[in-house]
Amino acid sequence: MKKRLKLTDIKLLNLKSPCRFTMLFAVPFLVIMGILLLALIAFEKSNHETRQVTELLESGRSFFSQLILAREWNSKHDGVYVKVTDQTQPNPYLVIPQRDITSTAGKKYTMINPAYMTRQMSEMAEDMGQFQYHITSLKLLNPINKPDPWEKKALAEFELGASESYTFTNIAGERFFRYMAPLHIGESCLNCHHEQGYTIGDVRGGISINIPATLSDKNHDSAFRRTVTSYVIIGFAAFLFITTIIWFFSKTVIKSIQSEVERNRLKASIELAGAAAHELRQPLTVLMGITELIRSKGKEMKLSSEDAEIILEQCSRMDDIIVRMLNITQYRTREYTEGVKIFDLNSVEDPEE
């Protein structure tokens, strides 16, 4: 029966230290876990960015709804008269009868339409450091409301049916979330814009809202760092746990391998010794017989050429057996007696052949 020692067995035999055995299995696990950790971090970063956009988008929509509500209130009252002050002058772009009136007490009032009201509210909000917003259109009455490039692009998209537009941008070194939604012509809007050819439902323009993103960035960055830190801690704990298990497992495996190797060595030694005893016994018996015959007859015994030939032949046979033992390169056994196997020296190739 032929037995060969596999390359994997040789590698395991070389791992005499639990550290080397542990590294053999722990390093691939660490690489895989590192890849998974990086994938989780990238996924979590994407989620944080999505959540931040969702939160800011909801803020923009909510603020836009409040502006529309205030404009609707103004529009349903056909404008609101307020006292003329240095900050509130008559709107030169509002061309309607009775734009300016004087009370019985002699105080002057001017009408504030939804657009003028929106612009004044925007100026107040900017002075208070709150959200900035801007009413604009592709068909302007007041040049001060001219759209910037992003607003102009968004207004063009609204004309094609888009319901909103948003993006991140830097303004004066500060990051903002920009949100814009369209303003549609209602029946009350025609009082001021009928001369521009609008009909009910047309896109009159839009309101863009600039929401400071600094605080949102800070909160989400902090949350993201906490998440990454927790992932790293969990990953390190998992790696430490697995490595510890592999360490104790490796000690047991190496001990078992070493015991198996020792058993195999002992078995091989016994089988080789049996083979050597079996193979050498025959020529040795012949030599001992001839030697005993010479000793019993003493001087009367003359060594014939045939006897000398036998002695030389048996010595050569023993030398051949020894040479074969020295040139063993593979492990084969054969049946010797029932239940007993010995090393098959005949399977060893003669180096001279």
Domains and CATH numbers, the chain: 2-23+254-347 (no CATH), 77-212 (3.30.450)
Highest mean pLDDT among 115-124, 153-162, 334-343 belongs to 153-162
Q: Crossing angle, helix 214-297 and helix 18-76, to 10 degrees?
A: 160
Which of the pair, 291 or 177, is modelled with greater confidence?
177
Asked if residue 100 has pLDDT above 90, the reply is: no
Q: Which of 240, 242, 244, 239 is nearest to 36 (CA)?
A: 239
pLDDT digits (tens, 9 = 90+) for 210-252: 998 988 889 989 998 998 999 889 888 888 888 888 788 777 7
Question: Around Cβ 154, how many Cβ atoms within 10 Å?
Answer: 25
Which of the pair, 187 or 152, is modelled with greater confidence?
152
CB 186 within 8 A of CB 203: no
Mean pLDDT score, 24-33? 80
Q: pTM of the predicted model, to two decimals?
A: 0.60
**Nearest-angstrom CA–CA distance, 236 and 242:** 10
Asked if residue 64 has pLDDT above 60, the reply is: yes
- Give the pLDDT of residue 149: 93
**Nearest-angstrom CA–CA distance, 350 and 353:** 5
Confidence of residue 265 (pLDDT cuts 50, 70, 90): low
- Give the pLDDT of residue 4: 47
**Nearest-angstrom CA–CA distance, 20 and 24:** 6
Name the E strands within 91-190.
100-102, 108-112, 132-136, 165-171, 174-184
**Bridge partners of 175?**
170
**Nearest-angstrom CA–CA distance, 89 and 91:** 6
- Give the pLDDT of residue 165: 94
**Nearest-angstrom CA–CA distance, 102 and 130:** 34
Mean pLDDT score, 35-59? 91
